[in-house]
Structure 1
């Protein structure tokens, strides 16, 4: 039984990491689209998920101090948005590269 629990403890982070890497590649593909909005779908969903989870979080705390509850909501929101930050970083880098590439192609066409 202990071996099975140890395997699950090792397997779950690997699966979640693989899913996150796959979502990063999906974000890269969506950010390459000509329209600007497809690349913002994953960051938007991630932001909504972080908002939902941070507002749901205080129900599981035992403290009644409003400052502790507000701090836990804030920290949960900031840490829950880590995937959002990564997706927005990927979006910004890919869009700026594609913008530079389009400008370079435009200049090459004008040189002809």
Structure 2
């Protein structure tokens, strides 16, 4: 009887793991699409930095909590673990900043091309 209970509990945890993973992947893709949309906006330029700023602030709070907890002995962690966690959690920040800068470089390049074409007397695009 105990074996059946263990099997059923294992299946329940497996299903919840798949559901959690699917939700996490959907949220990750949705935030990346949101970052892409915010980075391509015309004005103001700082709108594309909202998500990286929020994620960076959240990771700084988590790192501060871990460092304070380790300093007072509430958590069995040292500063190497705090720095490791800080680096791992900031991976989305790096991805958001990469999206932001790639969109901005592309936007500047297309704006420069349209200005060059306009100066030559050729009107292409809306600049």
Quickly name the TM-score band, shorter chain normalised.
Answer: 0.7 to 0.9
| Large movers: runs of 4+ above 4 Å | none
Q: Scaled by the length of structure 1, what TM-score is found?
A: 0.88
Q: Which of 2, 5, 15 is the equivalent residue of 2:23?
A: 15
Return the offset for 1:13. Answer: 1.6
Q: Which has the higher helix share?
A: 1
**1:42 matched residue in structure 2:** 51
Q: How many residues align?
A: 107
Higher relative contact order (CA 8 A, sep 6+): 1
RMSD: 1.4
Q: Contact between 1:54 and 1:80, CA under 8 Å: does it hold in 2?
A: no
For structure 2, list consecutive stretches of 5 or more residues without a partner in the other structure. Answer: 1-8, 122-127
Q: Scaled by the length of structure 2, what TM-score is found?
A: 0.78
The 1-side partners of 2:60 and 2:36 are apart by 23
Larger radius of gyration: 2
For structure 1, list consecutive stretches of 5 or more residues without a partner in the other structure. Answer: 64-68
1:108 corresponds to 2:117: yes
Q: Which of 40, 61, 81 is the equivalent residue of 2:75?
A: 61
